[in-house]
Amino acid sequence: MEKMPSPLWTNSTSLERMTGTWRNALPYYKNLPSPCHGACPVDGEIAQWLLQVNKEDHFGAWITLVDNNPFPSIAGRICHHPCETSCNRTNLDETVGICSLERFVGDKALADGWAFAKPQEERPEKIAIIGGGPAGLSAAYQLRRRGFQVDLFEARPALGGLLRYGIPAYRLDKSILDQEIARIIDLGITTHLNAEVLDAKALKKLRENYDAVYLATGASKPKALPGLDYCADYVLDSAEFLAATNAGEKCELGEHLVVIGGGSAAMDVARTARRLGHRVSVLSLEPDELLPAQRAEVDEAKEEGIGFICSSMLKSVVAGDDGITLRCTKIDFKPGETRGAFSMSEVDGGTFDLTAHAIIPAIGQDADIDRWTGMLNAQGPVVATDAKWQTETDGIFAGGDLASMDRFVTQAIGMGKHAAVAIAGYVCPDQVVSQPDKGAEVPYKAINTAYHPKEQRNAQAHLMVDVRLQSFKEVQLPLPEAEAIKEAGRCFTCGTCTLCDNCFLYCPDVAIKKVDGGYTVDADYCKGCGLCVAECPTGSIAMQEES
Amino acid sequence: MEAIKYEENGQFHSGHVACAGCVEALALRVVLNTVGQDAVAVVPPSCTAVICGGYPFSSVKIPVFHTTLESGAASASGVKRALVAKGKPDTTVLCLAGDGGTYDIGLQALSSAAERNEDILYVCFDNEGYMNTGGQKSSSTPLNAVTGSTPAGKLTRKKNMVEILAAHRIPYIATASPSDLNDLTDKVKKAKNIRGMKVLIILIPCLPGWGVADDRAVACAREAVNAGVFPLFEVEDGTKYTLNVKEKVQPVNSYLAMQKRYRQLSEEKISAIQADVDEDWQRLMDKTNGR
């Protein structure tokens, strides 16, 4: 006879009971985009590479970075970093110092000599890229790593465009530029220097010889300030000044210079001139708080002893024996609805005189569109393109300052990337990649800040002012490794699972299981309480009602 | 971010019948996994009894002895002595009780076991009321909290169980919270390695009893700690007080606001709660500083 189990003892575990039937919603894991990703001009996977830096996987971080941007060292120095403005952490204390961390990873790659992986396959299609600035180089990189044959045409004797001829060395050391460009060219890109594509006819010929053409010749024509005689010997345009000084040439301009403009280029001119021993005043239409240059640039310029005469307009210039007199007036400046638009009115009795020796207007550059008449059409001040950066001529794509008014270096890098993807799809339809819907960005309220104690960001060290004024050494100093790892740890990692195990360890129902590279919810037992969602430090779990 | 470090090793199973989002089940999971396989649990009637059992199933891997409400600590004492007699002196005996079985009905047995310094680890899952029977007040229910038997709010303050136990001069007493699982884990580990009577009181915000949303129990416990309503501390040998969270960082308001049992409190009543919390905090600070 079978032995009866004792009625006093349990005979099974509670696993017999399927408590999942209680549930009306089930958690699911979804890597959602972070606000910094949405703001990034190159669609950088910022949360991902910051996490890699924090885990001391710097090579992994670099691989993640260069998937979208081959210039982390450059962007880490000069990007206008909209990511930091959009950072969820600004709601708690201060943004994560993303830009300084990008520089950290980029510099680590250069120091350790990390190279890009060669293309996995060689493809026969040939692409011509005209313009070796940030947009052209970015497109060349993205096309070459997909295996296309890339010919890069640059009008000047060296690659880099604005990065070389516009940005002064105290913001971007030329050796950094050289190294990051060389790393791209080493992928097997054929370069043609001093090879200007002169006109529409030359462009047409190129188009005939290549499967597609990418045009990124920048904005090379200085905007003219009305009422200023550009032929006078006391006027020198900013682009000319920066190109000359970047090449180490001297400009004989006298002691006191007035720079007209309030953008990044004006700051570059003013601070360069200051380093060459000039007394410098910046004259801008915008009031101080609305100067279009990055705030750090303005602050650093002031530290360097540059005078700012804001909300002011030049009316006329009188040349004298020893220098010039600028007749100016105070104005009331009102910003418009779109970037760059504004209205203004003169302030009664606001006229004043300014004595100086030379004027450097730095009010921006226009794209040279006339050159392509017959092949390309204009759309306002830029070349007309469709959403995929294709111009009205089949197979000719355009980007960078030539095709957009978003005039930031990283915007150009992003445009180069996007055009490269479009070009790859154009020449070879099997390379068309559909962009999956990534879902809504993770809002601040989805982050459980109990796991993120308040902590101020790193204070990126700067060169002392007296040292700055004696050289063109970089003003911003690199972040030491220990500080970089710590700073990366401030990232909320919005929307990206960090495998922290909180969901696994907090579940009162032991209903979350670890699987290879992540977690899964055991629907047999999950009661749908949502505690895993509430205690997720990154906002990468959400509840979903079941149909 | 500090990683949570308790180790999951299969001591607690899915399929138990705790409410969705119950952090008593969570705290039980942490305690059982930290204590490990070589243990026996004694459980008086309580939510824990329901969570562990539901005959003929068990959600707990170690043997569980269900005892009566007034005799938790006495039964645990007997089980421990029997194990010692059988040559198993290292087996941990847990007594897993609620606040009714600790502050009220089980207090006599607990006091006696403490007086005898029995070698047991007594864990009180303190949800501040008889929540398993529909939510009546216990002597752990705090001032002004509404329960089924205090519909206008409780008129007296929460019993200070730690001070009662400290008066017994037992080796170890600690408070813990499901909002700080590392602190809880450390305290269980520490208690396990002390011979004699150990008592751990864990705050358990009760979802239906307190009127807290299903996913908010941990957040509620966190607010309790941050507001100093439930300070995390240890008492060794009845005299040596150690604070584990050094300061209270916010007033009680946001803690009260997330619970329906404090709904529609007048400013006066909120002030009375704040005054009690401040007074208790000061008393605790004085003890910590050896005054």
Q: Which residues of A touch B214 (CB under 8 A)?
A: 528-531
Q: Of B175, B182, B259, B253, nearest to B216 (Cα)?
A: B259
Minimal CA–CA distance to B160: which of B284, B31, B278?
A: B284
What DSSP string describes B30-86? HHHHHH-SSEEEEE-SSHHHHHH-STTEESBSS-EEE--TT-HHHHHHHHHHHHHHT
* Residue linked to tokens 């680890």: B121
What residue ranges define each of the domains in chain B, with the CATH number in brackets? 23-288 (3.40.50.970)
| Conformational region of residue A495, where left means phi above 0, alpha means psi within -120 to 50, and beta covers everything else | left
> How far apart (Å, rounded) are the C-alpha atoms in residues B195 and B89?
10
- For residue B209, what is the DSSP state? I
Task: Output the six-digit token pair for B274.
Answer: 């704040």
In terms of DSSP bridges, do strands A518-521 and A512-515 run parallel, antiparallel, or are they unpaired?
antiparallel
d(CA A547, CA A530): 18
- Minimum-distance CB partner of B21 among A16, A508, A525: A508
* pLDDT-based confidence at residue A2 (cuts at 50, 70, 90): low
ipTM over 0.90: yes
Supply angle C-alpha A165, A167, A170, rounded to 5. 125
d(CA B59, CA A541): 27
Q: Residue B199 is inside which H or E element, if any?
A: strand B198-203
For chain B, first and last CA: distance in Å?
36
pLDDT in tens, A275-300: 999 999 999 999 999 999 989 999 99
Q: Is A26 on the interface with B (CB under 8 A)?
A: no
The answer to whether the Cβ–Cβ distance between B181 and A500 falls below 8 Å is no
Q: How far is B168 from chain A (nearest CA, A)?
A: 34
Confidence category of residue B76, pLDDT binned at 50, 70, 90:
very high
> Is the model's pLDDT at A40 over the cut of 90?
yes
Contact A451, A490 (CB under 8 A): no
Q: Any idea which residue has 């129990």 for tokens?
A: B217
pLDDT tens column, A11-25: 789 999 999 999 999
The stretch A485-510 carries a mean pLDDT of: 96
Domains of chain A plus CATH, in order, are 14-31+497-545 (3.30.70.20), 126-220+366-431 (3.50.50.60), 222-364 (3.50.50.60)
Residues of B with Cβ-Cβ distance to A13 under 8 angstroms = 13, 15, 57-59, 61
d(CA B39, CA B43): 13
Q: Which of B4, B179, B215 sits opposite A501 (nearest CB)?
A: B4
Average pLDDT value for chain A = 93
Helix (H) or strand (E) holding A520: strand A518-521
Total H helices, total E strands in chain A: 18, 21
* Local structure of A311: helix, strand or coil: coil
Written as one string, the DSSP assignment of A410-425 is: HHHHHHHHHHHHHHHH
Residue with tokens 């530290």: A303
> A–B: how many Cβ contacts below 8 A?
116
**A130-181, pLDDT tens digit by residue?**
999 999 999 999 999 999 999 999 999 999 999 999 999 999 999 999 999 9
Name A514's Cβ contacts closer than 8 Å, sequence gap at least 6: A501, A504
Upper half-sphere CA count for residue B234 (Cβ side, 13 Å): 14
